[in-house]
Amino acid sequence: MRIKCVITKNLKKTKKRTCSYIPHGNMEKGIILNYIEKPNPAYLKRGKNKNKNKNKNKKGDIYKLRNVEILLYANRYVHEGNENFSSTTKKLLLTPKVGNKMPEGKKPDWFHVAAPTVAKYNKLKDDIKKLNLHTVCEEAQCPNIGECWNIGTATIMLLGDTCTRGCKFCSIKTSSNPLPPDINEPFNTAKAICEWNIDYVVLTSVDRDDLPDGGASHFAKTVELVKFSRPDILIECLVSDFQGNIDSVRKLAFSGLDVYAHNIETVKRLQKYVRDKRANYDQSLFVLKTAKEINPQLYTKTSIMLGLGETKEEVIQTMYDARKNNIDVITFGQYLRPTKNHLSIVQYISPQMFEYYKEEGLKMGFKYIASGPLVRSSYKAGEYFIKNLVNQRNKDKKN
């Protein structure tokens, strides 16, 4: 299978030359097939088949290519396991890059979303501003903000708007020394939630590694105040890993919440490329497993972004790992690049592949799966089903 690639001596230079090659051994080696424009030999580092005349590039020679960028149209075959790909090409593992200047192409048609309805959108925005609250909908530039805010729901972000970690996919601002948490925030949050007259709320936060318990007590206090005012309301908490601190996990698990959510974000191989170095795959699974062991009445939930270079097999393995750790709910969504300073999109996943992952996950025993290009971990589509799960559980407890 021939893959068009771009070979550059220096990414800062705009001049690029292209050729076709077959992956050989690993991502950086290839067999030269033909040239669209014959590259300058200085752009290539000789591998095998060394000739005395280094300026003579022969068809079939093997070169180690510097700064190889695979074009997006070829990547979908790796993810979807296209049978036309050779076994060598299937082994090609892709990784996202920060600051990649290659064009990502036009977004597919399925990414069209409705514009916010002015009345409800503005009311919710005004309420949040008056009470000095933050929403992940705005801070993370969620594509569903119009859809969710139009029905009067939002995901409240606690502990300020500044994160102590620097994940390469996230647009939330970062600092090693953010402002202290607002002591009035738990009360203001409970007040806003009660005024909105909703029956399901998602509370999330930035990472606060600067706090002794990672902000777990702040979270727990907010949950307790909401439940005190509205015992019937269902609360989902989308939290950090608390650096694996069991005491912090226990504090939140017994606060009265209904759904304990923490995002794995991506497959195991891509963790170091996507997440902050203080986060890792095994620690995230451990936190979710521990929360379930501490309070078996909780529903646990996680989310994965697709389109960062993961393979189908890696996604399936991640689902197996999640079920092995008793995670009840999982969501899949397309990664969208917030700015040019964040990870580039390796590929757009088709709606058919999202449906495939949903079907495979349900076979594994997940209680619910939300899977689609615009699905996010706090997306309302999952809330309806989870709400029914929790209500049924509460009825069973009474009986």
pLDDT over threshold 80, residue 11: no
Question: Could you read off the pLDDT of 209-244 as tens digits, one per residue?
Answer: 999 999 999 999 999 999 999 998 889 999 999 999
**Lowest model confidence (mean pLDDT) among 140-154, 161-175, 261-275:** 140-154
pLDDT band at 320 (very low <50, low <70, confident <90, very high): very high
pLDDT band at 319 (very low <50, low <70, confident <90, very high): very high
* Residue 64 domain-assigned (yes or no): no
Q: Report which listed range, 67-71, 143-147, 217-221, is most confident.
A: 217-221
pLDDT for res 377: 62
Per-residue pLDDT averaged across 242-257, rounded?
96
Structurally, the chain folds into a number of domains equal to 1
* Residue 96 domain-assigned (yes or no): no
* Residue 31 domain-assigned (yes or no): no
Pick from 71, 88, 92, 72: nearest CA to 6: 71
353, HSE (Cβ side, Cα atoms, 13 Å): 23
Q: 161: domain range? A: 117-397
* Residue 195 domain-assigned (yes or no): yes
pLDDT for res 186: 94
**By the 8 A CB rule, do 322 and 285 touch?**
yes
Binding residues, by number, are: 137, 142, 148, 163, 167, 170, 378
* Residue 136 domain-assigned (yes or no): yes
pLDDT for res 342: 79
* Residue 51 domain-assigned (yes or no): no
* Residue 2 domain-assigned (yes or no): no
Radius of gyration of the chain (CA): 24
Binding residues for [4Fe-4S] cluster, by number, are: 137, 142, 148, 163, 167, 170, 378
Q: How far apart are CA 286 and CA 302, in angstroms?
A: 12
More confident residue, 77 or 285: 285
Percent of the chain with pLDDT over 90: 38
pLDDT band at 41 (very low <50, low <70, confident <90, very high): very low
pLDDT band at 399 (very low <50, low <70, confident <90, very high): low
Question: Could you read off the pLDDT of 76-127 as tens digits, one per residue?
Answer: 334 444 444 334 334 446 667 665 554 455 667 666 555 555 555 566 666 6
Q: Is 131 exposed, middle or buried (0-12, 13-18, 19+ CB in 10 A)?
A: middle
pLDDT for res 382: 53
**By the 8 A CB rule, do 328 and 288 touch?**
no
pTM for the predicted model, two decimal places: 0.70
Q: Report which listed range, 35-49, 129-143, 286-300, is most confident.
A: 286-300
pLDDT for res 73: 30
pLDDT over threshold 90, residue 248: yes
Mean pLDDT computed over every residue of the chain: 73
* Residue 257 domain-assigned (yes or no): yes
CATH code of 368's domain: 3.20.20.70
Per-residue pLDDT averaged across 138-152, rounded?
54
pLDDT over threshold 50, residue 23: no
